[in-house]
A and B are shown apart, each in its own frame.
Chain A
Amino acid sequence: MAEYKLLLEHSHEPEFRTLHGYLARGGYAALNRAKGMERQAIIDEVKTSGLRGRGGAGFPTWIKWNGIEKEKTRPHYLICNADEGEPGTFKDKQLMETTPFLVIEGMTIAALATQADAGYIYIRGEFVDAAKSLRAAIDEAYAHGYLGQNILGTGLNFDLYIHMGAGSYECGEESALMSSLMGERGMPRLKFPHAPLPTVAGVWDQPTIINNVETYAAAVPILAKGGEWYVTLGANTKNSRGTKIFSVSAHVNKPGNYEIEFGTPLMELLDLAGGMKGGALKACVPGGSSVPMLNAEDCQNAILAYEELWETGSMVGSGGCMFLNEHTCIVSYTWRTAQFYAMESCGKCTPCREGTKWMLQILERILRGNGQPGDMDLLMEITKQIDGRSFCGLGDAAAWPVAGAIKKFPEEFEYFIKNGRSMVDTPEARAMAPRWAQRAFSAV
């Protein structure tokens, strides 16, 4: 299998960012088809396609769309989660920058199906280019009747707004995103069964659909070519249909976004990205920094699909695939990941707020050469005290990479704790370690 460019087909063509160029390449065919369909038929089409949320959790998209009240009694909102903050993931950035109309059309289709009045694209604060590209596209869509009042004569009134985040990873969590959108502190809100689902009471307590950028974009080919067609992609997997964009980074020759059919082996993705750079494959984090890592052996058999990857011991997540070469000190890598989550914990719940900081402190102590015999067990204990106990998924996301690294590479941690030095003693490893931990590596 090779790349299957469904969403990224025209990504390299600057023309595609304009309405004219978009229409010339078959743009808005999906909406034109959808406008002739019953609302339920649109949702059923998405159901047929087997589309699952591309933001990380893989929740069936049609269930969300179907959960909105059918007889409209109050405003309905649509949110596009474009707060792409997962380390290693940069697919939404490219989609928004190069294929803004796909996102807009996808959201318009969703609006049509769920009778939404307004949509909000919550963009990560650093993605200025993406916001500019979307802004230009939205303006053009308004000017030509693709947004605003009575879109394409469907009677649908749909306004689309861009909201820039302020730099918090936590705001990519859907309920925290809604808090932030409403002007509150970016902390997660109660979720089902503690509170109604967003489709019942979401942003401003109104029925709300919240999907990832890629999910909305994927709705366009589904509606254009039909769910029956889409379901043939990835047909050899258990329950993963369609294509998925993986952001490949770290020690590869050609880092970048690669769109593949579900069911593609992980090693093929590595080949697409030009193979390993600077050394042999040691480990892979296939779905963004929060998923457990795979060692080289696992990678050989790993299949890129939701259930298949779960069985291998990791997750598709958001598709931020990082390949690490043999010069990677796993302890340093784990410290860096832990630092990210400690800094990004919102502080709302105890396990995440205190646990992420504590793990970071222990890892830092190990890197400084002051590891204690019980540190590995303690780290594992702490991850168990966080995992599943935190208010939202950030705690889990902070615990998995630490637990995963210790499970897959226990000897590296043992060595570091025992000897106060890294097991991977190469100049490359030293270059990747923080400056204050240089003593753990031999001088060149």
Chain B
Amino acid sequence: MAAAVQTETVAITINDIELHVPKGELIVESVKRLGLEIPIFCYHPRMKPVGMCRMCLVEVGFKQPDGSVRKMPKPQAGCTLPASEGMVVYTDTEMVHRDRKGVLEFLLINHPLDCPICDRGGECPLQNNTLAYGPSTSRFLEVKRHLPKAYPLSEYVTLDLERCIQCGRCVRFTEEISGDSQLAFRFRGASMQPSTFQLTDFESRFSGNVIEICPVGALTSSKYRFRARPWDLETRPGLCTLTPCGTNVFYDYRSGRLVRINGRTNEDVNEEWTSDTTKFGHDALYNNPNRIQVPHVREGEAFRAVEWSEAYAAVLGACEGKRTAVLAGTMLSNEDYYAWQALARTALATNHLDLRWQKTLLPASQMLKARTGLPGVQYGIADLENALAILVFGTNLAADQPMSYLRTRKAWFRNGARVVVAHHEASEAESFAHVVLRYRPGTAAELAAGLANLLAPELADATRIATPEWTEAQTGVPADRLREAAEALRGTEFAAITTHGLFDEANGVTAYQTLALLTSHAGGKFNGLVNHANEQGGREMGFAPDLGPGGEAVTAGMNTAEILQAAAKGEIDTLILVGCDPIRDFPDTALATQALENVANLVLVDSAQTEACAYASAILPMALPAERDGTYTSSERRVQRMERILKAPGESKAPWQIAMELGLRAGSSAPYFHARDVMDAIAEQVPAYAGARYQDIPETGVRLANPEGLTRSNDAVVQALQSLLGGR
């Protein structure tokens, strides 16, 4: 289909070279085809062009029928000028050079020359353009503008108004991309400045991006300020392991220490944006002063640093013939999860393993795939921007899935997609929603039934009681609003986005499943996303009490809540915690504390000291994601690889390595020499990952295909739905 669509091209001439470009392409982009560059400040390819800074002025003319060129009297802004037939552009004339010099002179008269102490110095577009095109001296004899310096706009963003060149990139970002409209220009003329409302806090989940797109050092990171010069930094591509989106980033480090995170372009995932969690969250993780350096075992009240071999012996001794359970955090790599579940199921002979920390834990075997025959994720993040209608159900999308949120907003902003937002509380997505369905907390399932009644004829019988009026009585969502929402979605291949956070609501499981079923019957596509970093990968690796790698059926063990309850009752002898702390991660802190108190042997595999350390009998230091090789599966089921970037402190090892070495000692594991070997084993056992071997993963990651041959009807869900509706 896409190949059949031919865009109209026009013939234009740039510096006497003729070329064909798509009609309407901006000249600033066209010149790139010739390897030329037009200097810019305000222009950003992902935002609407405005032509503010005038740096991109070029001479433009039009070919006349007699072959001569009629030049336009004024120079034109290349960043706003669409290519049209017969256009002649000159980027290298005396006039163009004079104009560039003029604009730079104007920009510099009030720009403080504090480059030696400016964070941007060394990677500053203003510096670069001045060096390339600017005047060498200034004719400005007057007093420079003086404005507040280092004004903290928020905890993360510091504003230096003197350095600002009023290009409007930050303002446009908050208006066009993040949509929170936190920044705007105030005052006019030479006094114009970007500002939040009355310089109040810059409240945004995406504020960090304005630091990166600022072409000068006006918006700087409060965390990175004065910590390094760009030329001191080493930069390596990596991934965000804090959000479930698989955001691509650069890790910038100095002397082995992480100093900042910047967005990295991946058109399929994050374009070039990052959420603030991504940009500012890694600092606390990697620069934690309480990192564990070497293995420890408990001796009485104190810990003793030991060799790994001694630590392993202690761990295996504590597990031998004991009732053992393993809990893991959500930030491990696929290789880690695979190795640990293999160890648990062989050497430790237990199926009590889990990585989920929600209040409500649906048995993995009953997860959507098994119960309704639907895959969890049908629309990729990038596909969302082409959806005509999007239903955001039971989630604060901007918080839970920041990159899906940006695409959803883009679908609305660029293509006018109709967005229906159903949630029990206010969220950012409501700002551009076509219809808002604000239901009473705990009535998500009733609302889903009400939508099913309107949208899915096959479910009409099962949901006959759930008329819009009944739904209004149950959920508080006006019947007309519900009908309006159904109209917005009907007849489109809409995307229904929800997350596993829905399980924490009353009847959330039924709501989730009803939504999946109704979406399937109404011709939509369902996206049931996990909310934690690599939770998706962990599940697929079989780190679950009732499903092995690739969904292979196993004797069901206990889930997180059951393990903790059993431990609290003293029914677990040995509990192994890999990169998690139940006291921090589990909603019921009292139960978690009680569990840790009553476990005879608590083995901790973690990167830094946590509260759980107080109860540990052995502590093994773990390397963090950027300190080792590994693959991560994002919530849209995209497998991406991150190579080792930083050096792990002390004797820390990758969790998969710890699991393997324990397995080798117990005689149950094959030796892996590198994470790649673990992935080879995974690829053999989990069919979906066959294409995810290290040599096969492209730079942008590989999105796993959805299983084929799905059935659409499922009696179990309908029964659950009916019992819910009937019970009312």
A positions within 8 Å CB-CB of B: 168, 170, 185, 190, 193-195, 342-351, 353-358, 361-362, 365, 372, 374, 378, 381, 384-385, 388-391
What is the bound-complex CA distance between A374 and B139, given in angstroms? 10
Q: Is A342 within 8 A of B102, CB to CB?
A: no
Q: Is A348 within 8 A of B106, CB to CB?
A: no
Q: Is A194 within 8 A of B81, CB to CB?
A: yes
Contact A349 to B53, CB < 8 A, known contacts A193-B84, A354-B110, A361-B142: yes
At the interface, is chain B mostly helix, strand, loop or mixed?
Answer: loop
Cβ of B67 within 8 Å of any chain A Cβ, yes or no, is: no
Q: Is A190 within 8 A of B166, CB to CB?
A: no
Which residues from B are CB-within-8-Å of A349?
A: 51-54
Q: Is B103 within 8 A of A389, CB to CB?
A: yes
Q: Which of A347, A362, A385 contacts B142 (CB 8 A)?
A: A362
Contact A190 to B188, CB < 8 A, known contacts A354-B109, A362-B142, A389-B99: no
User: In this complex, which of B54, B57, B185 has the most chain A Cβ atoms within 10 angstroms of its Cβ?
Assistant: B54
Which residues from A are CB-within-8-Å of B99?
A: 385, 389
Q: Is B189 within 8 A of A351, CB to CB?
A: no
9 closest Cβ contacts across the A-B interface?
A347-B192, A385-B102, A357-B190, A354-B106, A345-B189, A388-B74, A361-B142, A194-B80, A347-B188
Q: A353-B189, A385-B102, A385-B103 are in contact. List 19 more A-B contacts (CB 8 A).
A: A193-B82, A193-B84, A342-B190, A347-B185, A347-B187, A348-B50, A348-B52, A350-B54, A353-B106, A356-B190, A357-B189, A357-B190, A358-B106, A385-B99, A385-B105, A388-B74, A389-B74, A390-B54, A391-B51
How far, in Å, is B438 (CB) from chain A's closest CB?
Answer: 27
Q: Is B75 within 8 A of A389, CB to CB?
A: yes
How far, in Å, is B492 (CB) from chain A's closest CB?
Answer: 24
Q: Which of A348, A351, A357, A388 contacts B103 (CB 8 A)?
A: A351
Contact A389 to B141, CB < 8 A, known contacts A344-B189, A351-B106: no
User: In this complex, which of A356, A358, A390 has the most chain B Cβ atoms within 10 angstroms of its Cβ?
Assistant: A358
Cβ of B184 within 8 Å of any chain A Cβ, yes or no, is: yes
Contact A347 to B54, CB < 8 A, known contacts A194-B80, A353-B190: no
User: In this complex, which of A347, A356, A361, A365 has the most chain B Cβ atoms within 10 angstroms of its Cβ?
Assistant: A347
What is the bound-complex CA distance between A180 and B189, given in angstroms? 16
Q: Is B54 within 8 A of A354, CB to CB?
A: no
What is the bound-complex CA distance between A391 and B53, given in angstroms? 9
Q: Is A385 within 8 A of B190, CB to CB?
A: no
B77-112 to A contact mask, C-beta < 8 Å, 1/0: 100111010000000000000010011011101100
Closest to A347 in B: B192
Which residues from B are CB-within-8-Å of A389?
A: 54, 57, 74-75, 99, 102-103
Q: Which of A347, A358, A390 contacts B109 (CB 8 A)?
A: A358
Closest to A190 in B: B80
Q: Which of A345, A361, A374, A378 contacts B188 (CB 8 A)?
A: A345
Which residues from A are CB-within-8-Å of B568?
A: none
Q: Is B142 within 8 A of A358, CB to CB?
A: yes
Cβ of B73 within 8 Å of any chain A Cβ, yes or no, is: yes
Q: Which of B77, B81, B107, B141 contacts A354 (CB 8 A)?
A: B107
Q: Is A193 within 8 A of B81, CB to CB?
A: yes
Which residues from A are CB-within-8-Å of B143?
A: 361
What is the bound-complex CA distance between A170 and B187, given in angstroms? 13
Selected A-B contacts with CB under 8 Å, 19 pairs: A170-B188, A185-B185, A193-B82, A346-B188, A347-B189, A349-B51, A349-B52, A350-B53, A351-B106, A353-B190, A353-B192, A354-B190, A356-B189, A358-B142, A361-B143, A365-B142, A372-B141, A389-B99, A391-B51
Which residues from A are CB-within-8-Å of B166?
A: 347, 350, 353
Q: Is B185 within 8 A of A351, CB to CB?
A: no
How far, in Å, is B49 (CB) from chain A's closest CB?
Answer: 8
Q: Is B189 within 8 A of A342, CB to CB?
A: yes
B residues 179-237 near A (Cβ < 8 Å) are 184-185, 187-192
User: In this complex, which of A195, A349, A354, A361 has the most chain B Cβ atoms within 10 angstroms of its Cβ?
Assistant: A354
What is the bound-complex CA distance between A388 and B109, given in angstroms? 20
What is the bound-complex CA distance between A185 and B187, given in angstroms? 10
What is the bound-complex CA distance between A356 and B110, given in angstroms? 13
What is the bound-complex CA distance between A424 and B192, given in angstroms? 36
Q: Is A190 within 8 A of B102, CB to CB?
A: no
What is the bound-complex CA distance between A356 and B109, given in angstroms? 12
Q: Which of B82, B107, B141 contacts A350 (CB 8 A)?
A: B107
Cβ of B140 within 8 Å of any chain A Cβ, yes or no, is: yes
What is the bound-complex CA distance between A372 and B142, given in angstroms? 12
What is the bound-complex CA distance between A190 and B80, given in angstroms? 8
B residues 18-76 near A (Cβ < 8 Å) are 49-55, 57, 73-76
What is the bound-complex CA distance between A170 and B192, given in angstroms? 14
Q: Is A185 within 8 A of B109, CB to CB?
A: no
Closest to B99 in A: A389
Which residues from B are CB-within-8-Å of A356?
A: 189-190
Q: Which of A194, A347, A353, A374 contacts B77 (CB 8 A)?
A: A194
Cβ of B541 within 8 Å of any chain A Cβ, yes or no, is: no
Closest to A370 in B: B141
How far, in Å, is A204 (CB) from chain B's closest CB?
Answer: 15
What is the bound-complex CA distance between A390 and B57, given in angstroms? 10
What is the bound-complex CA distance between A347 and B195, given in angstroms? 14
Closest to B57 in A: A389
Q: Is B189 within 8 A of A346, CB to CB?
A: yes
Closest to B108 in A: A354
Cβ of B342 within 8 Å of any chain A Cβ, yes or no, is: no
Q: Which of B102, B141, B184 contacts A185 (CB 8 A)?
A: B184
How far, in Å, is B140 (CB) from chain A's closest CB?
Answer: 7
What is the bound-complex CA distance between A396 and B106, given in angstroms? 16
Closest to A346 in B: B188
Which residues from A are CB-within-8-Å of B110?
A: 354
Which residues from B are CB-within-8-Å of A170?
A: 188
What is the bound-complex CA distance between A384 and B101, given in angstroms? 12
What is the bound-complex CA distance between A355 and B103, given in angstroms? 9
Contact A385 to B106, CB < 8 A, known contacts A349-B54, A350-B53, A356-B190: yes
What is the bound-complex CA distance between A361 and B52, given in angstroms? 23
Which residues from B are CB-within-8-Å of A168?
A: 188
User: In this complex, which of A170, A348, A356, A358 has the most chain B Cβ atoms within 10 angstroms of its Cβ?
Assistant: A348
What is the bound-complex CA distance between A350 and B102, given in angstroms? 10
What is the bound-complex CA distance between A204 and B42, given in angstroms? 24
Contact A351 to B82, CB < 8 A, known contacts A345-B189, A391-B51: no
User: In this complex, which of A344, A349, A356 has the most chain B Cβ atoms within 10 angstroms of its Cβ?
Assistant: A349
How far, in Å, is B54 (CB) from chain A's closest CB?
Answer: 5
How far, in Å, is B185 (CB) from chain A's closest CB?
Answer: 6
Cβ of B612 within 8 Å of any chain A Cβ, yes or no, is: no
Closest to B55 in A: A350
How far, in Å, is B618 (CB) from chain A's closest CB?
Answer: 63
Which residues from B are CB-within-8-Å of A361?
A: 142-143
Q: Which of B52, B73, B106, B139 contacts A391 (CB 8 A)?
A: B52
Which residues from B are CB-within-8-Å of A343?
A: 189
Closest to A360 in B: B190
B residues 553-578 near A (Cβ < 8 Å) are none
How far, in Å, is B91 (CB) from chain A's closest CB?
Answer: 16
What is the bound-complex CA distance between A385 and B74, given in angstroms? 12
Which residues from A are CB-within-8-Å of B184?
A: 185
What is the bound-complex CA distance between A381 and B140, given in angstroms? 12
Which residues from B are CB-within-8-Å of A347?
A: 166, 185, 187-192
Cβ of B165 within 8 Å of any chain A Cβ, yes or no, is: yes
Which residues from B are CB-within-8-Å of A193?
A: 76, 81-82, 84
Closest to B41 in A: A350
What is the bound-complex CA distance between A345 and B184, given in angstroms? 17
Which residues from B are CB-within-8-Å of A190?
A: 49-51, 80
What is the bound-complex CA distance between A354 and B77, given in angstroms? 18
Which residues from A are CB-within-8-Å of B84?
A: 193
What is the bound-complex CA distance between A129 and B230, given in angstroms? 60
Closest to B111 in A: A354
B109-131 to A contact mask, C-beta < 8 Å, 1/0: 11000000000000000000000
How far, in Å, is A392 (CB) from chain B's closest CB?
Answer: 10
Closest to B80 in A: A194
Closest to A186 in B: B188
